[in-house]
Structure 1
Amino acid sequence: MKKMFLILGMATGLFACSGNSSKQAESTAETTTPAATEEKAPAYDPERGSGKFTNVTVSPTLDKALADAGNKVYDVKCASCHKLSDEKLVGPGWKGVTTRHKPEWILNFVTNTDEMIDKDAKAQAMLELCMVRMPNQNLTDEEAHSVYEFMRKNDGVK
């Protein structure tokens, strides 16, 4: 009797597993087939990165109110991983960041973090150096602009 239950159990297991694998193969084929109506993605621009910021105009003088708002965002969302010096904490230090990257690149990176890390060579190099993927902080456009202005203040813009 035990033998019969064992054989019945094995047969049921084999039947159940074989049925799912064909459905899984069908399902995978459906999801990997591209739709005929998909548009080709625009070419990636390493100077501005990937995201909605394409042409950012920056004032030669600092917007103090915006920089102060950016300081508050930094304190809450950025300070645990980034120092204001050039010293690495978890992520790279912020000193000089506005001279190393264009405003569009920085704004796209802080608002479109995952795609930038996946596509951008500079972001990938930072990931290799820091060995921790920056989490998406879900910054609004306004928060991103204020953080950028705070970065400029940190870099000595008056």
Structure 2
Amino acid sequence: MKKLIIFFAIGIFIYACSNNSNQNSSTSSRNSSSKATTSDYDPKRGEGKHDKVELGDKLDAKMAEEGKTIANLKCASCHKYTDEKLVGPGWAGVSNKHQPEWIMNFITNPDPMIDKDPELQAQLEICLVRMPNQNLSDDDARKILEFMRQNDGVK
């Protein structure tokens, strides 16, 4: 009876390992096909529907406060608002470093951008966790962007 159980356990182990290697090869072929299209990727804009995001010269305090509420709910478990890494990178300086279109596209469309953006791929190697798509609306993403601007000192 013990031999039968051991034989069964080894069979499951071999089956699980063979499926894992098939998934890895399909994942790598998927990654290489997405990297093949990086030549049309705009690192300043990112990838998504946001081509032009109009920002006011001054901060919209109400929008920033609403963005902070959303960020505390959806983002703060992985991101600190300083430059310190938590699970993901800190947010300090993000709105100064990236165009508003890039930020909006990344918030609302992270997967294709992670697949194509060399800077995001480098960040992924450091953080080891892909940013999940939080399925935020464009309005919520815009509020988070305004909070990021406030976090970076825009008044």
Q: Give the TM-score category using the shorter length.
A: 0.7 to 0.9
Residue 104 of structure 2: aligned partner:
107
- Corresponding position of 2:120: 123
1:53 aligns with 2:50: yes
Please point out which of 140, 145, 158 is paired with 2:142: 145
% identical equivalent positions:
58
2:12 aligned residue? none
TM-score of the aligned structures, taking structure 2 as reference length: 0.73
Work out the CA distance in 2 between the residues paired with 1:44 and 1:135: 20
> Cα deviation per residue 1:64-93 (whole Å; 9 max; x = unaligned)?
111011011111100000001000000000
Residues of 1 paired with 2:124 and 2:99: CA distance?
19
TM-score (norm 1): 0.72
Distance 2:126 2:112 in 1: 18
Matched residues in 2 for 1:43 and 1:124: separation?
A: 17
Q: CA-to-partner distance for each residue in 1:2-33, whole Å, 9 max, x for gaps?
A: xxxxxxxxxxxxxxxxxxxxxxxxxxxxxxxx
Among candidates 34, 45, 63, match of residue 66 of structure 1: 63
- 1:114-139: CA deviation from partner (whole Å, max 9, x where unpaired): 11101111211111111111110001
Greater fraction of residues in helix: 2
Aligned twin of 2:10: none
Q: In 2, distance between residues paired with 1:148 and 1:125? A: 22
Report the Cα offset of residue 43 of structure 1: 2.6
SS where residue 143 of structure 1 aligns?
A: helix
Q: Alignment partner for residue 88 of structure 2, among 87, 91, 113?
A: 91
Partner amino acid for 1:153?
Q
> Which structure has the bigger radius of gyration?
1
Q: Distance in 2 between matches of 1:65 and 1:57?
A: 17
Q: Structure 1 residue runs of 4+, over 4 Å off? A: none
Q: Distance in 2 between matches of 1:99 and 1:141?
A: 20
Aligned residues between the structures = 119
